[in-house]
Amino acid sequence: MSTTSNTAGNIRFLNPPAVEVNKKKYCRFKKMGIKYIDYKDATFLTKFVNEQGKLLPRRLTGTSLKFQRKVGQAVKRARHIALMPYVTDLLK
């Protein structure tokens, strides 16, 4: 009967695992005082879109409702003038 009981409880880690205590999400637009989201700036808009080019939900990006609508509208405009794809496989 192995004396060393390595139950999950007392596994010693060299350094505590960087468990992400859920850091308070904030709306980057309100914090930085951005008032207008430019639909021509595709590199900035790709931050709000996942690999397939789909819009990220607010719970992941943490943006407020008002600015999520503006982001959505800007991304759809960028897609219309072919600055951003409607669907793709590896955007990043």
Q: Which residues bind another protein (CB under 8 A)?
A: 35-36, 38-40, 42, 77, 79-86, 88
> Which residue has 């930085």 as its token pair?
32
The smaller minimum CB distance to another protein, of residues 18 and 82, is found at 82
Distances (CA, A) of 53 to 44, 71, 88: 13, 13, 6
CB of 57 to another protein, least distance (A): 22
CB of 41 to another protein, least distance (A): 10
The smaller minimum CB distance to another protein, of residues 82 and 90, is found at 82
